[in-house]
Structure 1
Amino acid sequence: MRRLIPWPRSLAGQMALLVALALFLAQAVNLALLLRERSAYRLAQVTRPAAYRIADALDQESGGRPVVADRGRVRLVPRNPITPAMTPQPAMTREIVSQLNDMGVRVAAIDVALATPDQYQAPLSRFERRMVARAARTDHDDRPRDTIIVAIRRIDGRWMALAGGLPHDDLRLFWRLLAQTLILYGVVLLPVLWIARRISRPLRELAAAARSYSPATSPEPLEETGPPDVRAVIAAFNALRLRVTAMLDEKDRMLGAIGHDLRTPLAALRVRIESVEDDQDRARMADTIAEMNRTLDDILSLARLGRPSEPETEVDLAALVDAVVEDFRDLGDPVTFEEAERLRMRLRPSLIRRAVRNLIENAVKYAGAAEVSLSTDAQVAAIVVADRGPGIPSERLDQVFDPFFRLESSRNRHTGGIGLGLALARAIVEEAGGRIVLTARDGGGLLATITLPRD
């Protein structure tokens, strides 16, 4: 059904289509009834005059008068004028017989057939051909029409013939019905479309509010309009949004408490390791505590993403990336950055800085160096971090973004991290409306590309 009729997506379109189909079905039924009535009318139009003429002719003969043609259409003929080439008309035969019986007229047999102009010329006599040709003419149409021939065998065995033209189909009925259908479509469908769009407008607003909902902003209650069912849905959505916001607030409070409770013992451990005399053991302990702090920061940042406390500000993206690269250079890491033009964008600088830092940190850890570049066009800005490391198998390029996922063959806990760096970077970039993609680099290595919209 959908292949034959393009099914609309909107509620108003579907309602209009259903009403249109219902109107079409109703008009089709109406056309069938009209055609049936028209067929019955045409049958009566042909058979009733024929039955009256036959009865009149037989009545003339029974009164001792010779058969006089009724306008030249009833004649005595020497034989049955109907040939096998003509098309029998059993319905007309039954109708004429029934009407003659109702009038009390008895005949031996009646045959009715339909003859085309090229069929009734040969078998009839010259007089009969004149009679049929005269009957085939119309007053308002020059086209020859098929002829109905009625052959009557009387009780005494003699034959009588009656010829009459078959009326043409009246195509005006079809055109009138088509005009009526178009008028109905205009009268009914336009109000239906207007009402359906009015009903569906609150649903469209509800869908827009659901798409634009962000945990970072306080929810604005949506106005409850429309029919009672639609108002109930909008009220349920408003209540749901309030509950979600309350749950997220509770989650932020819980995360803050967890972070505080975990950092306090870690700080105490950091103080206590100062009493360890072995410098090597003390350094390893300090590294372990620092790694635990970083892990805790990553987990809390990933859990809080979507409700950042940092507002969007206008910053120079090129300067931001250059500052991150300088931090790695200060630590002695071989990280290069191609100078780029100033690019003012509205974003959350701390989060974007962290995403870029995670990508560069991965490149330094697993490749020993990183090459950073920034390119822009009219729509997007792209930050590319390239390395010449072992790379990532193509079937796992998307899987490495999953939290706590690590490639054991090349990236393990000895090289640092628990598999949250890329997951956090992707979450930050997607929260900013961008995307992050990993691709294999020509000649070996990996390309990590952050794409951010400029508007």
Structure 2
Amino acid sequence: MRWLPRSLSGRLVIVFVGGLILAQLVSLSILLQDRGEFLARASGMQSVMRVVDILQLLDSSDASERDRIIRVLRSPQLKISLQASAVQVKREMLDPSAQETVFLSMLRHKLGSDREVWVNIRARTSAMPRGAPALEHGAHRVRTEGRGGSPVLVAHIRLQDGVWLSVDSTLEPQTMSWPYRALVSALVLLMAVIALAWFGVRWVTRPLKDFAQAAERLGENIDRAPLPEKGPTEVVSAARALNEMQARLSKYLSDRTRILTAMSHDLKTPITRMRLRAELLEHEVTQAKFKQDLAELEAMVSGTLDYMRGVQDGEPLQTTDINLLLKLLQTDSGELGHVVHIDGQAHSELLCRPQSLKRCLANLIENAVKYGEVAHVQITDSGQMLQIVIEDEGAGVAANELAMLFEPFYRVEGSRSRDTGGTGLGLSIARSIAVLHGGSLHAENTEHRGLRLTLRLPRASS
């Protein structure tokens, strides 16, 4: 699903908050139902007590006083009448509803089981004259479900002298109101839990984020500081495994670098002896070929040593003036007859390994002037990232060979001839130094078929 967040923390928050909202809705529906039933019972009990009081008053009064009492007690919400017959009453009570049964049980509880009582609930509508006695409209009884108007409780009770009392009492409409305080309380609880879930999930998933960042930095610098082994048990186990893997990789690379460096260094001695013996050859053509082969072999050995130093460099970090460093390289190239143009400048010094970075920039500029005659250096400093772009005016490189430029000992044939010299390690060394600084080196062809090398160095490099 596209609307789901991709992060683990975002998905956990959605699960927690969604479950909480669902639980709150279910709890609210139960609360409303229970509250409605409670209020209905409370309102019904009020009406029941009113009917009981009226019954007790009329039971204790003479027949001559009952009419006066009824006139005094009548109101728009309370209709009282007396009937001599119960025929109409029984016709209305043939099919009592659940609510009618509840009110009937409450009345019998107050009056006793030997009292004849009938209960009827209906809605007050325009079809029923408001001032008419309740028993005269039994045939037009309307159930409250699905109809407008306030529900009306009609109780039919036989007095001690046999006369039937009918009380038409309007139930209170407050049973339909919303529990706004409960809603506000639920909303406050929901917001508090959302906030706690957000901070709690971020606290739990923070070690995972650190673990992912450490794994990403491992590819940039194998000698970085080990990942702290803290957090949940699973994260601690993963961090410990990552640190052990880093230690093994670092040892493997260190051993390989040491072996290759020793081999390259030891090769210089026999190369020197072969060079001296080549001087003793009398045939000049053969001597020249031997010297050329030995020069290439020595260049490869020296390049390999430089490459190994670039891959694993123990030089300490120092703040370096990049503008001054590029000016020195421009001057050195000018003394060799090469043209280097510099445009832009760094706004501040860069924390880096000066000698390694100098070797990187020197290789890039040397590559540009060797194959493109002129090197154009463009400096862009964003405050967080220092970008140095070096372009040449050569013939460029085929698109399918751009990715291979940084491979050790790889040389582009055709446009860049082997006769120009080199071992194919210059760009590999430059990229290794860039990665050592936490940066990157990217190659692409320019619009004019020259080669553009883009070096990016973060200012937070370590």
Q: How does 1:308-387 map to 2 (within 5 A)?
A: 308-313=313-318, 315-325=320-330, 327-329=332-334, 331-332=336-337, 334-338=338-342, 345-367=350-372, 369-373=373-377, 375=379, 377=381, 379=383, 382-387=387-392
Q: Which amino acid aligns with 1:42?
A: L
The answer to whether the aligner puts 1:44 opposite 2:41 as a matched pair is yes
- Is residue 150–residue 163 contact of structure 1 (8 Å, CA) maintained in 2? yes
1:113 corresponding residue in structure 2: 122
1:4-83 to 2 correspondences below 5 Å: 27-47=24-44, 53=51, 72-75=78-81
Question: Is the CA contact 2:211–2:227 (under 8 Å) kept in the aligned structure 1?
Answer: no
Measure, in 2, the Cα distance between the counterparts of 1:384 and 1:324: 15
* C-alpha separation in 2, matches of 1:19 and 1:297: 61
Kept in 1: contact 2:343–2:379 (CA 8 A): no
Aligned pairs (5 A) from 1:269-288: 269-288=274-293
Distance 1:291 1:199, change over 3 A: same
Provide closer, same or farther for how the CA distance between residues 38 and 318 of structure 1 changes in structure 2, counting only shifts above 3 A: closer
Length-normalised TM-score, structure 2: 0.65
Of the three residues 267, 277, 299, the one matched with 2:272 is 267
- 1:22-421 equivalence runs, <5 A: 27-47=24-44, 53=51, 72-75=78-81, 90-96=97-103, 103=113, 112-115=121-124, 120-127=125-132, 146-148=150-152, 150=154, 162-169=168-175, 173-176=179-182, 178-179=184-185, 182=188, 214-215=221-222, 222=228, 239-240=244-245, 242-313=247-318, 315-325=320-330, 327-329=332-334, 331-332=336-337, 334-338=338-342, 345-367=350-372, 369-373=373-377, 375=379, 377=381, 379=383, 382-392=387-397, 397-398=402-403, 400-403=405-408, 407-411=412-416, 413=418, 416-417=421-422, 419-421=424-426
Deviation at residue 175 of structure 1 after TM alignment: 1.1
User: Which runs of no fewer than 5 residues in structure 1 stay unpaired?
Assistant: 82-87, 130-143
Cα distance in 2 for residues equivalent to 1:416 and 1:105: 122
Deviations 1:236-271 (A, max 9, x none): 565555444444443333233332344344334333
- For residues 88-126 of structure 1, give each alpha carbon's deviation from its aligned partner in whole angstroms, at most 9, with x where no partner exists: 99542453466679847778x9653334xxxx2453154
Instruction: State the one-letter code of the partner of 1:286.
Output: K
Q: Does structure 1 conserve the Cα–Cα contact (< 8 Å) formed by 2:123 and 2:151? A: yes
Q: Percent identity?
A: 28
Moved more, 399-408 or 254-263: 399-408
Secondary structure in structure 2 of the residue aligned to 1:163: strand
C-alpha distance in structure 2 between counterparts of 1:263 and 1:287, whole Å: 15
Query: What is the CA–CA distance in structure 1 between the aligned matches of 2:108 and 2:407, rounded to whole Å?
Result: 93
1:204-247, Cα deviation, whole Å (9 max, x unpaired):
88778777775557x5795x666766665665565555444444
For 2:259, the aligned partner's letter is M
For residues 99-156 of structure 1, the C-alpha deviation after alignment (integer angstroms, 9 at most, x for no partner) is 679847778x9653334xxxx2453154469xxxxxxxxxxxxxx97243548799xx
- Give the Cα–Cα distance (whole angstroms) in 2 for the partners of residues 239 and 149 of structure 1: 81
> Deviations along 1:315-354, whole A, 9 cap, x unmatched?
554454344445555555x433459889855533432333
1-side partners of 2:425 and 2:88: how far apart? 103
Offset of residue 194 of structure 1: 8.7
Gaps spanning 5+ residues in structure 2: where?
90-94, 135-147, 159-163
Residues 216 and 308, structure 1, Cα contact 8 Å, conserved in 2? no
RMSD across aligned C-alpha pairs, in angstroms? 5.5
Match of 1:429 among 416, 434, 438: 434
> SS of the residue aligned with 1:390?
coil
Retained in 2: the 8 A contact 1:42–1:167? no
Cα deviation digits, residues 55-82 of structure 1 (max 9, x gap):
9979x89xx979986864343699999x
Query: SS of the residue aligned with 2:170?
Result: strand
Specify the SS of the correspondent of 2:397.
Answer: coil
Q: Give the letter for the 1:182 counterpart.
A: V
Give, as a single letter, the amino acid of the residue that structure 2 aligns with 1:371.
A
Change (3 A) 1:28 1:407: same
Q: Distance in 2 between matches of 1:341 and 1:335?
A: 18
Equivalent-residue separation in structure 2 for 1:275 and 1:320 (angstroms): 44
In the aligned structure 2, how far is the partner of 1:2 from the partner of 1:182? Answer: 30
The CA distance in 2 between the partners of 1:74 and 1:399, in whole Å, is: 103
* 1:450 corresponding residue in structure 2: 455
Q: 1:393 to 1:145 in 2, by over 3 A?
A: farther
- Residues 75, 409 of structure 1: CA spacing in aligned structure 2 closer, same or farther, 3 A cutoff? farther
- 8 Å contact from structure 2 (residues 321, 350) kept in 1: yes
Q: CA 1:413–1:89 in 2, change beyond 3 Å: closer, same or farther?
A: farther
Q: Which amino acid is 1:73 matched to?
A: K
TM-score under structure 1 normalisation?
0.65
Deviation at 1:308, TM superposition (A): 0.2
- Number of matched residues? 419
* 1:73 partner SS: strand
Deviation at 1:41, TM superposition (A): 1.6
